[in-house]
Amino acid sequence: MRATLMYGAGDVRVEEVPDSVVKQPTDALVRVTASCICGSDLWPYGSMSPVDGPARMGHEFLGIVEDTGSDVTTVKKGDLVVAPFAFSDGTCEFCREGLYTSCVHGTFWDVEPDEGGQAEAVRVPLADGTLVKLPVAADSALVPSLLTLSDVFGTGHHAAVAGGVNERTRVTVIGDGAVGLLAVLSAKRLGAEQIILMGRHKARTDLGREFGATDVVDARGEEGIAQVRELTGGHGTHVVLEAVGNMPAYEQALGVVRPGGVISRVGVPQYEDAPIGFASLFRHNIRLAGGPAPSRAYIEELMPDILSGAIEPGKVFDVTTGLDGVPAGYQDMADRKSLKVLIKP
């Protein structure tokens, strides 16, 4: 079968690999019908050392179950299913608390060496705790939006939930990538009073306005901070949803959060050391929240609004390609020519 591998920075290839097959009684084999490139894939695309490759790529996918192990009971051959970006057993103490990304028996697809969603098929470990059956056909027009339940919509929703967004909150979203835009949609869905999107790409911020942003600030640094504060009576916002992951984004979040507010980070941090002391957080009772979204916990909650047509998170996909187009898709996303690339293997 064919799959995507990253050999190093800027070096993505689609190659023949051994077929994925059921190995354990708890496995399911899924033929991928839709997957995508994630913004977090661009971090290794820009910096990965060749000594760390080749690595199988892709952690967002849905598809049709082709085979199951003898212990699998929740899905069967022929079911269309979506997989979160981490697999989990659904029964450990952390899964029972809704923290599926901390499952004691699971892990992230990105560290599973022989599998990846940007491929023709995937062996899914712990299928009962991981896969969710979708009540549509594989050719449904809803597939792009349902695919966002795998990661990007769940991550935007997690940012808003972890930040405590409700109808009384003013929110700043930092980042106009797919996660940032779906953080806007999530904040709107949770009733936020004001949503300020900080982003510089007009086509993206226009979609952000469609998703619910009340204001757009295209400046960065001190200028951007000043504009947000001007929009909020000088105080900043109750919640900042940081969807980038680099230090400038964190510093920007510090500049626009209101005293007593929350910075909720879901952009994968590209740093270990950051200001958290008296002058930055402690003085004004500012809290940090966020982390890897337990997307599996949110799928059943978010799916009905997609099925009803109330929301269309799949609008973040602006390009569709087959596997042959994946290497170019990475480059286009890195160059900001594409927002998010949908893959139809």
pLDDT in tens, the chain (345 residues): 999 999 999 999 999 999 999 999 999 999 999 999 999 999 999 999 999 989 999 999 999 999 999 999 999 999 999 999 999 999 999 999 999 999 999 999 988 889 999 999 999 999 999 999 999 999 999 999 999 999 999 999 999 999 999 999 999 999 999 999 999 999 999 999 999 999 999 999 999 999 999 999 999 999 999 999 999 999 999 999 999 999 999 999 999 999 999 999 999 888 889 988 998 998 999 999 999 999 999 999 999 999 999 999 999 999 999 999 999 999 999 999 999 999 999
What is the Cα–Cα distance from 117 to 1, expressed in whole angstroms? 13
Q: What is the pLDDT of residues 174-225, one digit of tens each?
A: 999 999 999 999 999 999 999 999 999 999 999 999 999 999 999 999 999 9
Are 117 and 16 members of one domain?
Answer: yes
How many separate domains does the chain show?
2
> Any residues with CB less than 8 A from the CB of 233 and at least 6 apart, and which?
none
Give yes or no: residues 181 and 135 share one domain. Answer: no
Is the same domain home to 141 and 190? Answer: no
**pLDDT at position 143:** 98
Co-location of 241 and 162 in the same domain: yes
- Closest among 133, 132, 129, 130 to 91, alpha carbons compared: 129
Buried b (16+ CB within 10 A) or exposed e, 242-258: bbbbbeebbebbbbbbb
Give yes or no: residues 50 and 140 share one domain. Answer: yes
Pair (337, 216) in one structural domain: no
- Strand runs labelled E in 255-316: 257-265, 287-290
Claim to verify: residue 138 and residue 166 sit in the same structural domain: no
pLDDT confidence of residue 53:
86
Domain containing residue 212: CATH number: 3.40.50.720
Residue ending a domain, among 252, 272, 290, is 290
- CATH number, domain containing residue 63: 3.90.180.10
Q: Are residues 102 and 165 located together in one domain of the fold?
A: no
Q: Note whether 207 and 92 are same-domain residues.
A: no
pTM of the model: 0.96
Do 8 and 145 sit in the same domain of this protein?
yes
pLDDT given at position 338: 97
Query: For residue 212, what are the domain limits?
Result: 156-290
The pLDDT value given to residue 309: 96
Distance CA 74, CA 91 (A): 14
Measured between alpha carbons, how far is residue 135 from residues 12, 60, 78, 81, 147 in Å? 34, 18, 12, 9, 13
Residues 161, 302: one domain?
no
pLDDT at 25: 98
Among the candidates 254, 270, 290, a domain finishes at 290
Are residues 327 and 203 both part of a single domain?
A: no
